[in-house]
A and B are shown apart, each in its own frame.
Chain A
Amino acid sequence: MLTLTTATYDAIVAHARRDHPDEACGVVAGPEGSDRPVRVIEMLNAARSPTFYEFDSADLLQLYKEMAANDEEPVVIYHSHTATEAYPSRTDISLASEPNAHYVLVSTREQDSVEFRSYRILDGVVTEEPVQVVAALD
């Protein structure tokens, strides 16, 4: 299960809405091994595409250096699908490379409702998990 705060949930959805119709992407970092997503880091989609996202390579290095310095890891890796459902595509599955991360997909295809779903993606196998939104993390 993915547990995150309302503030984090809202920040991810707002980012996805803002970048629509391009895909938005980012990370929620947390202390290593804690499974607590606490720090939302919006990333630029270097592909600037409605069907693809990729962190810029220099931004990616900066992000991982920053997380290493803080003893953090990417607890959540999120991106949006802007015309399709919030389910990992074949591309998402083949490129997933953080075994400990919750992969969050947000679909912004509907203007007045949002689909927010979370998955584990390990060795090509997708497992959906419940999402619990709380006022504050324990």
Chain B
Amino acid sequence: MAVEVKIPTILRTYTDGAKSVPGDGANLSALLDDLESRHTGLKSRLITDDGSLHRFVNIYVNDEDVRFTGSLDTALSDGDSVTILPAVAGGAA
């Protein structure tokens, strides 16, 4: 499934500065592997060592936060738009 992936500023070091890159995969997990094959290091910024989505990274498929649609198992269709955004968070704690 050919999709477009929007890359946030902080991760554009992995995409030669590109704001969006093409990708391919039947689901989000496969897409991230596909991206990793051309943008080495990107995946480890999104996925923790135990293989789950990082708590402070948001990934959306067509405006839906994947946390509500099956996380890394979220299915993709041709033409889907995938957006990666780091959480904006912090605080005194």
Which A residues are closer than 8 A to B by beta carbons? 23, 25, 27, 43, 47, 49-55, 57-58, 60-61, 64, 73, 77, 79, 81-84, 88-89, 91-92, 95-100
Chain A residues, Cβ within 8 Å of B90: 52-53, 79, 88-89, 91-92, 95-96
Judge whether A60 and B92 touch: CB under 8 Å: no
Judge whether A95 and B89 touch: CB under 8 Å: yes
Chain A residues, Cβ within 8 Å of B87: 54-55, 57, 60, 95, 97
Which B residues are closer than 8 A to A by beta carbons? 8-10, 56, 58, 60, 63, 65, 67, 83, 85-93
Q: For A32, give the chain B residue with the smallest CB separation.
A: B9
Judge whether A97 and B10 touch: CB under 8 Å: yes
Say whether, besides A99-B9, A99-B10, A55 and B88 are in contact (CB < 8 Å). Answer: yes
A-B contact count (CB 8 A): 84
Chain B residues, Cβ within 8 Å of A47: 89, 91
The majority secondary structure among interface residues of chain B is mixed
Judge whether A61 and B60 touch: CB under 8 Å: yes
Q: For A91, give the chain B residue with the smallest CB separation.
A: B90
Chain B residues, Cβ within 8 Å of A91: 89-93
- Knowing that A83-B92, A91-B89, A98-B9 are A-B contacts, what are 20 other residue pairs whose CB atoms are under 8 Å apart, sorted by A's residue number? A47-B91, A51-B91, A52-B89, A54-B87, A55-B89, A60-B87, A61-B83, A79-B91, A81-B92, A82-B92, A89-B90, A91-B90, A92-B91, A95-B87, A95-B90, A96-B90, A97-B56, A97-B87, A97-B88, A98-B10
